[in-house]
Amino acid sequence: MKKIIITGGAGFIGSHVVRRFVKSYPEYSIINLDKLTYAGNLANLKDIENAPNYKFVKGDIVDLKFIQQLFADEQPDAVIHLAAESHVDRSITNPVEFVMTNVVGTVNLLNAARESWKGEYDKKRFYHVSTDEVYGTLGDDGMFTEETAYDPHSPYSASKASSDHFVRAYYDTYGMDTVISNCSNNYGSFHFPEKLIPLAIHNIQQSKPVPVYGKGENIRDWLWVEDHARAIDLIFHKAATGTTYNIGGHNEWKNIDLIKTLCTIMDKKLGREAGESAKLITFVTDRAGHDLRYAIDATKLKNELGWVPSITFEEGLEKTVDWYLANEEWLSDVTSGHYQQYYTDQYNNR
């Protein structure tokens, strides 16, 4: 039986990847390794927590001894690595935490895998899930391809770029079977409400201000999280060793246009008068070093592995809004305590 450690499986994207693998591959044994930071929540996986091929292990990838012991005990065949500090604003406030988890944590996993696999990489694989933010920012034209030079600007993207380089170094230096994918902004269920789309849905629902950084002219390329999980599944199983794939939905939106669209959807869903939710839009001080535009060219993934997004943005956004409105308990759980305090501090400092 193939044993796979999926790190960060209690987070947003990780929980969708864990669910997909547990359900699609009963012949695999899936270990979800997660520290359960503010962003990790086992409630995201309630529907599969008792599956016979699933196990949760609480642990910190920064703790090398713990990671080495886990590899010695479990003898995994593969790692799908998603654990990370993932929020750009938090990286501006606390860059060191990002270096620890995203860089040191990744190298710890690579090293534990190298020791465990002892240079025998046949039927072994280390898959690193990364971001398009490593490529930096675009002007009005062009798209990121797999050949675009790395040019990260935020502490978050710098830490992810560094971890990508380490993964490639393990391929080049030790011959480890590695694969990397760089994906655009995700949205969907179980998304922590500090990121733009879930934060906006949450605030509109509660009739609170919706903060838009600067003039709202920055552009992001949005992909439904379940399409990302499907791409990861495909790349994990089909990609050649040492390769990289960009993942994206060819779906660019200016932040302000996206928020206005969400306001229109929410007016309808909440039975509000047209234009009511848009009154909540509040322009706030811009993010430091704010990248202007991201856009992914996912041609390689389409041509080589046949992946295309399964749903339109309109369908995905509607599904996402419906999910948040139906899961108020999940939202109130994750917006209590520590996170609530952080958010209040951040917002007051703007």
Binding site for ligand NAD (CB under 6 A): 7-8, 10-14, 34-37, 39-40, 60-62, 82-86, 101, 105, 129-131, 160, 183, 185-186, 192
Residue of 54, 121, 127, 156 marked catalytic? 156
Among 316, 4, 1, CA closest to 189: 316
User: What SS3 class is residue 179?
Assistant: strand
The option from ligand TYD, ligand NAD, none interacting with 101 (CB < 5 to 8 A, set by class) reads ligand NAD
Question: Is 156 annotated in the active site?
Answer: yes
The option from ligand TYD, ligand NAD, none interacting with 83 (CB < 5 to 8 A, set by class) reads ligand NAD
Taking the least distance from each CB to ligand TYD, the nearer of 195 and 230 is 195
With CB under 6 A as the contact rule, the residue among 125, 195, 228, 230 that binds ligand TYD is 195
Binding of ligand TYD by 7 (CB under 6 A): no
E strands in 107-251: 125-131, 178-183, 186-187, 210-213, 219-221, 223-224, 243-247
Q: Which of residues 165-194 bind ligand TYD (CB under 6 A)?
A: 185
Sign of CA dihedral 277, 278, 282, 287: positive
Structure tokens at 342: 């952080």
Residue 202-221 contact track with ligand TYD, rule CB under 6 A, x = bound: ---------xxx----x-x-
* Cβ–Cβ < 8 Å for 29, 4: yes
How distant, in Å, are the alpha carbons of 89, 110, 119, 269, 324 from that of 332?
22, 36, 47, 19, 11
With CB under 6 A as the contact rule, the residue among 101, 246, 255, 320 that binds ligand TYD is 255
* Cβ–Cβ < 8 Å for 132, 88: no
Q: HSE of 67 in the Cβ direction (CA atoms, 13 Å)?
A: 25
**Strand 3-7 with 29-34, pairing:** parallel
Taking the least distance from each CB to ligand TYD, the nearer of 67 and 82 is 82
In whole angstroms, give the CA distance from residue 129 to residue 164. 9
Question: Is 133 annotated in the active site?
Answer: yes
Structure tokens at 210: 């919706």
Among 126, 238, 225, 228, CA closest to 180: 126
The option from ligand TYD, ligand NAD, none interacting with 167 (CB < 5 to 8 A, set by class) reads none
Q: How far is the CB of 184 from ligand TYD (least distance, A)?
A: 9
The option from ligand TYD, ligand NAD, none interacting with 313 (CB < 5 to 8 A, set by class) reads none
- Maximum C-alpha span of the chain: 64
Question: Is 132 annotated in the active site?
Answer: yes
Among 49, 71, 48, 46, CA closest to 61: 71
Residue of 85, 133, 164, 291 marked catalytic? 133
Q: Please count the residues of this chain forming the interface with ligand TYD, following the rule CB under 6 A.
A: 12
Taking the least distance from each CB to ligand TYD, the nearer of 119 and 139 is 139
Q: How far is the CB of 108 from ligand NAD (least distance, A)?
A: 9
Q: How far is the CB of 221 from ligand TYD (least distance, A)?
A: 9
Residue of 60, 85, 132, 194 marked catalytic? 132
Kindly list the residues in this chain that would bind ligand TYD in the complex (CB under 6 A).
88, 185, 195-196, 199, 211-213, 218, 220, 255, 287
Active site residues: 132-133, 156
